[in-house]
């Protein structure tokens, strides 16, 4: 079903700060849709959104042909949806939607995944930048805060690593979607492939539901320790966002969102500040994760919360966090 808009009039706190949103989705399926017009309506808030990166969400796959190539349909669909999305981030409004595209390929294909990567690159018309292969996995159904649940240990599988090894030769990065309990596995992967840029999505999916409910301090300590190890890998990057998802256990609702960015900033600050401290502004980037996070707060409110948290940062540090890390990581 369509996601209902939240009617919050909060104005942007820093309307002149350029933003590149490195993580959002478009989709159209039997359950509803979120298309460029919807995103532009959400982003029409006064913030200076220069460009965006579209991240795969299993939409518009091809309905026939080889199974391995069906995800290429999403890349082609995104290019068709956003005909002005290519080019640099400095153009005039509206933002350059999907200036970079991150798609899906089954890395368990091993070396054979090269044909899929090449098809994505062709379909991407100069905008294809990387692969996201979600490895979210937890044995306890009560802790599963994502739509999928993969078998455990995928990132160590020989077939997966053979497929992963094909990313760097094609000039592609890897977006990782996993839970905080799996960060150590990603660290091992990043160390094994130092030539591949590895981007940890959504701060590493810190679980606050199921067996993790009521254990926030304990979970935070483990997350921070594991994140520190990942940050030691020079090829690792982190996206700061996704905190509106149910898995965090923040119990957001429309009323929470209406209280505005001060409420969000207070809840998010420990995670955001820790990630920035460990990775530094040049390897960290703020993300919207829209429309997934739209159930918890409005687009403007999310960016305002980030602005509040890093209010003491220098202009240079803010530039990296809000746009330059994303621009460099996704080469736009």
Q: Which token pair is 216?
A: 């926030």
Would you say residue 116 has pLDDT above 60? Answer: yes
pLDDT band of residue 84 (cuts 50, 70, 90) is: low
pLDDT band of residue 3 (cuts 50, 70, 90) is: very low
Looking at every residue in the chain, the average pLDDT score rounds to 92
Task: Report whether 132 contacts 56 (CB < 8 A).
Answer: yes
pLDDT per residue over 255-303, tens digit each?
555 558 998 999 999 999 999 999 999 999 999 999 999 988 899 999 9
- Per-residue confidence (pLDDT) for residue 31, from 0 to 100: 80
What average pLDDT does range 159-174 have in this prediction?
98
Would you say residue 87 has pLDDT above 60? Answer: no
Which pairing describes strands 236-240 and 128-132: parallel, antiparallel, or unpaired? unpaired
Task: Report whether 310 contacts 286 (CB < 8 A).
Answer: no
**CA–CA separation, 300 and 306 (whole Å):** 10
pLDDT band of residue 175 (cuts 50, 70, 90) is: very high
- Report yes or no on whether pTM surpasses 0.75: yes
- Per-residue confidence (pLDDT) for residue 240, from 0 to 100: 98
Domain covering 18-330 assigned CATH 1.10.10.10 in the classification: no
What average pLDDT does range 115-139 have in this prediction?
97
pLDDT per residue over 225-265, tens digit each?
999 999 999 999 999 999 999 999 987 655 555 558 998 99
What average pLDDT does range 67-85 have in this prediction?
92
Would you say residue 153 has pLDDT above 70? Answer: yes
Would you say residue 127 has pLDDT above 90? Answer: yes
Question: HEC profile for 205-257?
Answer: CCCCCHHHCCCHHHHHHHHHHHHHHHHCCCCEEEEECCCCCHHHCCCCCHHHH
What average pLDDT does range 18-24 have in this prediction?
98
Residues with Cβ within 8 Å of 98's Cβ and at least 6 positions away in sequence, in order, are 26, 52, 53, 54, 78, 79, 81, 82, 85, 127
- Per-residue confidence (pLDDT) for residue 6, from 0 to 100: 46
pLDDT band of residue 90 (cuts 50, 70, 90) is: very low
What average pLDDT does range 182-206 have in this prediction?
98
- For the chain, the domains span 18-330
**CA–CA separation, 77 and 103 (whole Å):** 11
The C-alpha torsion from 327 through 86 and 173 to 43, rounded to 10°, is 60
């Amino acid at each position: 079903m369509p996601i209902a808009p939240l009617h919050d009039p909060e104005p942007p706190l820093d309307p002149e700060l350029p933003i590149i949103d490195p993580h959002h989705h478009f989709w159209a399926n039997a359950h509803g849709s979120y298309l460029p017009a919807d995103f532009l309506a959400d982003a029409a808030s006064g913030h200076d959104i220069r460009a965006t990166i579209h991240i795969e969400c299993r939409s518009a796959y091809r309905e026939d042909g080889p199974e391995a190539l069906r995800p290429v349909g999403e890349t082609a669909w995104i290019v068709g949806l956003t005909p002005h999305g290519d080019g640099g981030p400095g153009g005039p409004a509206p933002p350059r939607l999907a200036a970079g595209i991150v798609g899906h390929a089954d890395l368990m294909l091993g070396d054979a995944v090269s044909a899929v990567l090449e098809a994505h690159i062709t379909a991407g018309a100069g905008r294809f930048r990387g692969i996201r292969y979600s490895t979210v996995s937890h044995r306890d159904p009560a802790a599963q805060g994502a739509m999928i649940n993969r078998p455990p240990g995928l990132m160590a599988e020989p077939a997966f690593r053979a497929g992963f090894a094909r990313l760097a030769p094609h000039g592609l990065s890897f977006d990782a979607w996993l839970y905080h309990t799996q960060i150590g596995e990603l660290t091992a992967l990043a160390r094994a492939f130092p030539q591949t840029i590895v981007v940890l999505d959504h701060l590493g999916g810190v679980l606050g539901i199921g067996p993790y409910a009521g254990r926030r301090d304990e979970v935070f300590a483990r997350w921070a320790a594991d994140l520190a190890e990942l940050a030691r890998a020079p090829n690792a990057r982190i996206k700061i966002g996704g905190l509106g998802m149910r898995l965090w256990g923040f119990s957001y609702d429309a009323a929470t969102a209406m209280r505005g960015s001060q409420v969000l900033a207070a809840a998010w600050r420990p995670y955001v500040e820790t990630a920035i401290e460990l990775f530094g502004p040049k390897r960290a980037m703020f993300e919207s994760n829209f429309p997934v996070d739209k159930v918890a707060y409005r687009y403007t409110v999310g960016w305002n919360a980030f602005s509040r948290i890093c209010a003491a940062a220098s202009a240079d540090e803010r530039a990296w966090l809000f746009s330059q890390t994303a621009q460099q990581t996704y080469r736009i």
